[in-house]
Structure 1
Amino acid sequence: MAQLTLDKKGDTISILDLRKISSMVDFFIIITATGETHARALADVVRKKLRDKGIRNWHLEGYSYGHWILLDYVDVVVHIFMEEERKYYGIESLWGDAPMEKIV
């Protein structure tokens, strides 16, 4: 999923491994988008590629607003943020105990 968004110019991609600290989700993938249209395009490419493999998201939030789009695939949750919202909510710092991989 991270590679899909990298191909669409997703910026500052982080993968948080939550398996040892959360029983609800295994991974967060956090991506910065450059604008609302870009955020929706990133969400669309993830949803389409996974849907083509028979994987559907369980829940979708924030698509119409575009500043924080959440794609919930149960074990993996994808957060697509505008830069300002990503800084404000600071998910990486909230889950600071989680091992994190940055994709560039």
Structure 2
Amino acid sequence: MNSKELVNVAAKACDDKRAEDIVILDMQHVSLIADYFLICDGSSERQVQAIAREIQEQAEKNGLEVKRMEGFEQARWVLVDIGDVVCHVFHREERNYYNLERLWGDAPLVETEFSHGG
């Protein structure tokens, strides 16, 4: 599975758990960290955890290993690292504060059926 397919699997997982404002940034020419950043938010700690858990389950169902997951217990900003795709699942209040889309403003937005960027 290439990174473009992987980010679509992650975006669908987010959408399935009703994540809000799913944005995908193409990081391939901007950062060595990952090919894509997926950013979304949930309205409660429970929803943030459900989104992160679904990303993990869908990745594993597709034979991929989640390299690390950070922030799950606090559920304010959960980082799910699945290799070439890094997912940032924010609590709605935290997302505006960190504003990763602005921080990585050089990265082009990627449109998918699940993303609402652009």
TM-score range normalised by the length of the shorter chain: over 0.9
Residue 26 of structure 1 is matched in structure 2 by 35
Question: 86, 90, 96: which one pairs with 2:95?
Answer: 86
1-structure distance, mates of 2:28, 2:14 = 22
Report the count of equivalent residues.
104
**What runs of 5+ residues in structure 2 fail to find an aligned partner?**
1-9
Runs of 4+ more than 6 Å apart: none
**What runs of 5+ residues in structure 1 fail to find an aligned partner?**
none
Instruction: Considering fraction of residues, name the structure with more strand.
Output: 1
For 1:24, what is the secondary structure of its paired residue?
A: coil
For 2:87, what is the secondary structure of its paired residue?
A: strand
Query: How is 1:1-104 mapped onto 2 (pairs within 5 angstroms)?
Result: 1-101=10-110, 103-104=115-116
Which residue identity does 1:15 align to in structure 2? I
2-structure distance, mates of 1:68, 1:24 = 18
Q: Could you tell me whether the CA contact under 8 Å between 2:27 and 2:37 is conserved in 1?
A: yes
Q: Kindly, what percent of the aligned residue pairs are identical?
A: 36
| Coordinate RMSD, CA, aligned | 1.1
TM-score with structure 1 setting the length: 0.94
2-structure distance, mates of 1:13, 1:35 = 16
